[in-house]
Structure 1
Amino acid sequence: MAAFKGIWTKGFWRAVSGEYLATLIFVLLSLGSTINWAAEEEKPPPADLVLISLCFGLSIATMVQCFGHISGGHINPAVTVAMVVTRKLSLAKAMFYVLAQCLGAITGAGILYLVTPAAVRGSLGVTTVNSNITVGHALLVELLITFELVFTVFATCDPKRTDLGGSAGLAIGFAVAIGHLFAIPYTGASMNPARSFGPAMVTLNFEYHWVYWIGPILGGILAAGLYEYLYCPDPQLKNRLSQVFHKDASGKYKEVESEDIAIKPGSIHTIDLEKPEKKDPFQDQTEVLSSV
């Protein structure tokens, strides 16, 4: 129960509901761009990949801008898992985030299903693996495009950087659009397990659905780990670890009892939804931890 102690607050449930609403709007608007309204014609035109890519990218950029200060604007289980492995979000809170994202995606896809005529509904934007590539290649593509996305999230929201300018949300939106421009012909460019789960649940089409969970989550973990621990490590990480672990007489490292150490407030950068930190208003964009 200690792990769930922090969730019994109004601020946390506000954040969870924000993830639900942001994912709902994102999935509804983005999947809407995949509807081919000329499907009833004798020779319907092919899907407009540029239109779809821009709609996904701009939708994410908008949702990040709207919900970043409320929930962190993850809108993506792969981003949430990346925050967990880099200790920016607790596992207990992440479980609620992922559940909210999946429910939001189902709701958004369900609304689109209801308002769209059956004749043009098609597959409702369900992500599918191109028959000309193997499932292994599809998994690799999803891993790579999600790596690109999550690396962008961490790079544009890094509080240690002093060279950041412009909109973090727009940069993340561009990363989503780029991933779609490249990968739609391969896998439908999910980059987001919730985005794939919503329409799959509504249409009950789960063919190779596991690809759209394992690929993005592995890509997110890899990107987060490389950024946080290799390319841009926290210079105070070693000092913090020495406060938590010490070497005993036998040469083995043991965890220091919590009452024996004093960690300065704010020394570890985490998302604490119960006790929001006082921040410089000009740093808001770098604190957004979000994505598709």
Structure 2
Amino acid sequence: MSKEVSEEGQSHHRKDYVEPPPAPLLDTPELKLWSFYRALIAEFIATLLFLYVTVATVIGHQKQTDACAGVGFLGIAWAFGGMIFILVYCTAGISGGHINPAVTFGLFLARKVSLIRAVAYMVAQCLGAISGVGLVKAFMKHPFNSLGGGANKVAPGYSKGTALGAEIIGTFVLVYTVFSATDPKRSARDSHVPVLAPLPIGFAVFMVHLATIPITGTGINPARSFGAAVIINDDKVWDHQWIFWVGPFVGALAAAAYHQYILRAAAIKALGSFRSNPTN
């Protein structure tokens, strides 16, 4: 009888989800796997397509002379959020669908990817961003050069400190959404929160763009800012470039730290509840 009670208690407390083990810091064996290089190709192509569509949307809007013509800030925000939704959906099963060095950095801090994979992803993302913006310039050379190439910079009337704060908060929203949407408990039988992960991630990008386009043009993705800066190669853009690396990386660090705090608090609460009533 006691054995049955024990087994019943164990089955009651058994998790309905599996927490993946922490990724090793230096996972050198993955360098021999085709899946690793396939993931790099996926990140490169996804970031290329992301930058091509979104920067072309920005240039197309800026090209309009009528204030009521073009897609407006709302359309630009939809372009960024919609493309992230599409591309994360397409690449999640191949590379994890990062498409952003800040997301990769946050997942590295949370031990979701190794240092080797994180660095390789960031390189692939930056190369993809440069290629994507390069395509926009090839197809729209005159408006691209005359309208600033869709590059991120601090808008007139805002200080660099304000821009940095906007990038930190915006990236925090994005990376924390990534952590929440990809949490294994979301797919657990008793979670009651079914979710298609790319959807909230895309909406996070959309909402952040609505808030920060007037301030910085919205970076929250160092590859996006870097790719446009390389192709337009303007001194003012380069002067502001540090904001679009420091801000997203600090925001990703804060999101990773907060996520880990929430996980530890939940684990401590669950342990305390089990100790106080181990038979339930």
TM-score (norm 1): 0.75
Aligned residue number for residue 135 of structure 1? 160
Cα deviation for residue 38 of structure 1 reads: 6.9
Task: Select the residue among 55, 77, 82 that pairs with 1:31.
Answer: 55
Task: Select the residue among 242, 252, 256 that pairs with 1:210.
Answer: 242
Aligned residue number for residue 232 of structure 1? 263
Q: Please, what is the CA RMSD of the aligned residues? A: 2.4
In 2, distance between residues paired with 1:116 and 1:197? 19
Amino acid at match of 1:130: A
Q: Does 1:186 align with 2:215?
A: yes
What is the correspondence of 1:94-243 to structure 2 with a 5 Å cutoff?
A: 94-119=118-143, 121=145, 122-161=147-186, 162-205=191-234, 206-227=238-259, 229-233=260-264, 235=267
Distance 1:38-1:142 versus aligned 2 partners, 3 A rule: closer
Cα deviation for residue 35 of structure 1 reads: 1.2
Amino acid at match of 1:75: I
The structure with the largest alpha-carbon Rg is: 2
Amino acid at match of 2:50: F
Q: Which deviations, in whole Å up to 9, do the C-alpha atoms of 1:17-63 show, x marking residues without a partner?
A: 11001101111111111013673759896871001000000000000
Aligned residue number for residue 93 of structure 1? 117
TM-score (norm 2): 0.79
CA contact (8 A) 2:181 2:195 kept: no
Equivalent pairs: percent with the same residue? 37
Gaps of 5+ in 2: 1-25, 272-280
In 1, distance between residues paired with 2:210 and 2:66? 27
In 2, distance between residues paired with 1:6 and 1:231? 30
CA contact (8 A) 2:130 2:227 kept: yes
Distance 1:52-1:41 versus aligned 2 partners, 3 A rule: closer
Distance 1:40-1:63 versus aligned 2 partners, 3 A rule: closer
Aligned residue for 2:184, secondary structure, equals: coil
What is the correspondence of 1:27-66 to structure 2 with a 5 Å cutoff?
A: 27-36=51-60, 39=63, 41=65, 48-66=72-90
In 1, distance between residues paired with 2:51 and 2:182? 23
Aligned residue number for residue 71 of structure 1? 95
In 2, distance between residues paired with 1:214 and 1:101? 17
